[in-house]
Amino acid sequence: MISMTLLGVFGLLALFALLALRMPVALSMLGVGFIGTAVANANKFLALGMGSDLAWARGWKIAFSNLAGETFEAASNYNLLVIPMFVLMGNLAGVSGLSSDLFNTAYRWMGHLRGGLASATIAACAGFAALSGSSLASAVTMGRVALPQMKKYKYEDGLATGSVAAGGTLGFLIPPSGGMIIYAVLTEQSIGRLFMAGIIPGIILTLLFIGAIYLVVSRRPEHGPPGPKASVQERIASLRLALPIVAVVVATIGGMYTGFFTPVEASAVGAFLTFVVALARRSLSWAKMGTVVIETLSATATVFLIIIGAFVFIPFMSMTELPAHLVTILTSLPIGSIGILLIIILIYMFLGMFLEGIAMLVLTIPVVIPIAMGMGWDLVWFGIIVVVVLEMGMISPPVGINVFVVKSIAPEVPMGTIFRGIWPFWFAMALLLLLLVLFPQIALFLPQALVGG
């Protein structure tokens, strides 16, 4: 027999070993959770004096039952319908040219300023994030549109690629964020409240990114030379092109805020309206629709497999009581609530150097949520804190996934140059974290208003 806590430690070590061997996160959690559940239950039966063969037979039976039950629960979760709908919405926006309209509108209004093209990229990424909910989709789509323009006007490579990589991370914070959906499901929080909580921090982070660009070009004007100034007529015309996008975002997010739609209904309405806009623009073909469907199915299957893995892994961690012991240890430290939060943030920053955002989210939730509940923190506010730290990981060396995405779009730019360009934006995220800790109402104001306080 083995102590449950030690079994939990072995489970975590096995999980990280599999990840180090490049095993997919979903399958790693599924395997460790399944085997760990069998061992934990067999261990319990052995402690009750049951024979070895019978104890192990019952342990494996419970593990198989748990695997089937948790898989069905995850796959049949009604709230998870928002994932394919919002993924579909973002893919339709990408192939129909709505992303180009967003960038062109931002460029017409901001491109004549010093660093204006980079700022327009950030603004367009924020707008596209409200359509796609995906960090990678925002970085890829806007990178293909914005990087050629910034190269044309001789922007410094670090600023150009850094603004695309950082702007893409807004897709993880601004609703409909895929990361928030997974956090909500795993922590049994309201998806709508989390979406509302991300709006004001998302706007603030967008402005902080633009402020970071301003500081960079103020010190080194040659890094972001201004482009030609658009006429008033061109600006108004660009606004007309962006109007359908704004209408879709207002209909989906506004419908959730007013309570007219549930998040699931809003996702379906958003996908349908985006489809209608794409048809009206005559920008859809059968080939493009095939691509949209395949990409949507692929992304949805990947996310669902990760969630199923988490649903199997989390009960195993609960059985070992390892999270409860960590709560006891941390809450007994004489460092106060802020000190414990700082430790969690630093751990996330460290893990973010090696793990992808969603993977890190599902791996850490079983451990950090009991700590957050033990400290009495609001889980919606804590969710926004976690999401922002995960955003930081997306551009942190050596495995910032958005940096690699941008590298694939701009292969001629050295990796070191891209990483050097992200630091102003990384510190902007750190400033947002500080603001969220000092002023929790930044995240909680809209969710509280949504439910009348």
- The model's pLDDT over 182-198, given as tens digits with 9 standing for 90+, comes to 888 888 888 888 988 99
What pLDDT is stored for residue 86 in this prediction? 83
Domain that holds residue 9: 4-76
User: Which residues touch 278 (CB under 8 Å, ≥6 apart)?
Assistant: 92, 93, 95, 96, 98, 284
Which residues does the chain have with pLDDT short of 50? 452-453
97 lies in a domain? yes
DSSP letter assigned to residue 396: -
Residue 320 forms part of a structural domain: no
- Distance, in Å, from the CA atom of 172 to the CA atom of 391, rounded to the nearest integer, reads 7
- Which residue, among 74, 62, 72, has the nearest Cα to 37 in the 3D structure? 62
H-assigned helices in 220-285 = 232-249, 255-258, 263-280
Same domain membership, residue 415 and residue 429: yes
Residue 64 to residues 37, 48, 302: CA-CA distances in angstroms? Answer: 9, 21, 22
Indicate whether 70 and 186 sit together in one domain.
no
Task: Return the residue matching tokens 């850490």.
Answer: 364
Q: Which of 36, 59, 76 is the last residue of a domain?
A: 76
Residue pair 111/230 in contact by the 8 Å Cβ criterion: yes
**Could you say which of 76, 104, 130 is where a domain stops?**
76
**Segment 302-320, tens digit of pLDDT:** 888 888 888 888 888 878 8
> Are 146 and 243 members of one domain?
yes
Please state, as a whole number, how many other Cβ atoms lie within 10 Å of the Cβ of residue 412: 8
> Are residues 51 and 135 located together in one domain of the fold?
no
Q: Count of CB atoms within 10 A of residue 133's CB?
A: 30
d(CA 297, CA 426): 32
Query: What's the domain count of the chain?
Result: 2
C-alpha torsion sign, points 421, 425, 427, 429: negative
Q: 168: closest CA among 355, 392, 351?
A: 392
Rounded-to-integer distance, Cα 231 and Cα 296, Å: 39
Q: Give the CA distances from residue 191 to residues 235, 403, 450, in Å, rounded to whole numbers and listed in that order.
A: 36, 29, 12
Residues 125 and 19 in one domain: no
| Helix then strand then coil, % of the chain, to nearest 5 | 80, 0, 20
Q: What is the residue-wise DSSP string for 318-357?
A: HHHTHHHHHHHHHHTSTTHHHHHHHHHHHHHHHHHTTS-H
| pLDDT of res. 453 | 43
Q: Are residues 64 and 37 in the same domain?
A: yes
Neighbours of 301 (CB within 10 A): 12
Determine, yes or no, domain membership for 20.
yes
User: Within a domain: residue 222?
Assistant: yes
For residue 325, being part of any structural domain is answered with no
Same-domain pairing of 20 and 126: no
Q: Is residue 332 part of a domain?
A: no
**pTM score, two decimals?**
0.82
From residue 229, give the alpha-carbon distance in Å to each of 35, 109, 113, 217, 234.
Answer: 63, 8, 8, 18, 10
Instruction: Please tell me whether residues 178 and 224 are part of one structural domain.
Output: yes
Answer yes or no: is 242 within a domain: yes
pLDDT of residue 19: 78
Structural domain ending residue among the three candidates 53, 76, 99 = 76
The predicted pLDDT at position 1 comes to 62
CA distance 132 to 142: 12
> Is 333 within a domain?
no
84 shares a domain with 62: no
21 φ, ψ to 5°?
-85, 10
36 and 89 housed in the same domain: no
CA distance 313 to 69: 13
Q: How far apart are CA 367 and CA 310, in angstroms?
A: 12
pLDDT of residue 451: 57
One domain for residues 37 and 142: no
For residue 170, the 8-state DSSP code is G
Are both 141 and 10 inside the same structural domain? Answer: no
Rounded Cα distance, 401 and 347, in Å: 18
Whole-number pLDDT of residue 201? 94
Q: Measured between alpha carbons, how far is 359 from 346 in angstroms, rounded to an integer?
A: 17
pLDDT, position 431: 96
The answer to whether the Cα torsion of 119, 90, 186, 63 is positive or negative is negative
- Spatial neighbors of 91 by CB under 8 A, at least 6 apart, are 132, 137, 291, 292, 295, 296
